[in-house]
Structure 1
Amino acid sequence: MAKATRAKGGGGTPATVAATRAGVTYTLRSYDHDPAAGSYGEEAARALGVEPERVFKTLVAEVDGRLTVAVVPVSASLGLKALAAAAGGKRAAMADPAAAERATGYVRGGISPVGQRKRLPTVVDSSATGYETVLVSAGRRGLEIELAPEDLVRLTGATVADIRA
């Protein structure tokens, strides 16, 4: 069952704390996470009744050896060459999940692009700008933060580029 709540103040996950501190208007959307779900993002879209193109997954890759965050729709795949180019590098590969968890402070399936332990270079897919709001993980499985794409870009210091495969 999905619940929508407007954030009122501090507390919550590092993502919601960062958004609140920045004065960003957002809505928290929660659902009952199924540990057997094959795709966290597709599960979120289905459970919340949101088209998968508006729900974005957070992936951590290495671009020329440097951890980099990619934010792409759950309905798409990440184009590693496009990510490398957008991040000013030559080669990209998916990061080791343990390294991604250590750097971000979040667990796999709950990695948010917002409020990470260590601010990593971030690239948001350009398709996000076509929506009034998008959803990304709020830092825990079963919890999404819905916000304007321009706020997502501002909070993460992201570059916007077409990085879908």
Structure 2
Amino acid sequence: MKKSKIKTNALRMLDRDKIPYEIKTYEYDEEHLSGEHVASQVDMDAGDIYKTLVLHEDHDYLVCCIPVLEEIDLKKLAKLSGHKKVEMLHMKDLLGLTGYMRGGCSPVGMKKKFPTYFDASIEKDRPIALSAGKRGYQMIVSSKDITTYCDAKIGDVVRDH
């Protein structure tokens, strides 16, 4: 297990629970927080880099991780999660609810544990990248380890092309 010099809630939790990870850093600025930018900066296939989205139905919150270049299908996620409909959390509410800011939101280490979902593309056991809880930092973890650790449900939640 490789310990990181930076410490975020996500990394402290992985260290505590002995979940192995590596850190990859990348350059960013306020204009470059997109999945395309992260994929161009992190030396991995874009399909192996996941973004973390926070959604809600009224005050029922959930987290969903999908490949960075994909778009969420809100109807598919609502069905998988047992909601009538879900919508993206407004960006101004993200930090207060999760403790993370846009571009640095991790499914691990939020202020509160929310039900977590991963797109079905996660099912192939391989190293994947997720935000380590800070802009410019990606944690590389086993897809199997992270879905188990997050107690995540897995299903098809991305838009069809």
Judge same fold: TM > 0.5, yes or no: yes
TM-score (norm 2): 0.91
- The alpha carbon displacement at 1:34 in A equals 3.0
Deviations 1:84-134 (A, max 9, x none): 111111111111122222121001110001111111111011101224111
SS in 2 for 1:120: coil
Contact 1:10 1:20 (C-alpha < 8 Å) held by counterparts: no
Alignment identity in percent?
A: 31
Give structure 1 stretches of 5+ with no counterpart.
1-5
Aligned-partner Cα distance in 2 for 1:131–1:73: 15
Pick the aligned partner of 1:7 from 2, 17, 35. Answer: 2
Q: 1:35 to 1:64 in 2, by over 3 A?
A: closer
Pick the aligned partner of 1:105 from 95, 99, 104. Answer: 99
TM-score (norm 1): 0.89
Residue 69 of structure 2 aligns with which residue?
75
What is the alpha-carbon root mean square deviation over aligned residues? 1.8
Aligned-partner Cα distance in 2 for 1:92–1:9: 35
Equivalent positions of 1:74-93 (< 5 A) are 74-93=68-87
Residue 146 of structure 2 aligns with which residue?
152
Aligned-partner Cα distance in 2 for 1:24–1:110: 20
- The alpha carbon displacement at 1:35 in A equals 2.7
Give structure 2 stretches of 5+ with no counterpart.
none
Aligned residues, how many?
159
SS in 2 for 1:37: coil
- The alpha carbon displacement at 1:157 in A equals 1.7
Residue 16 of structure 1 pairs with residue 14 of structure 2 = no
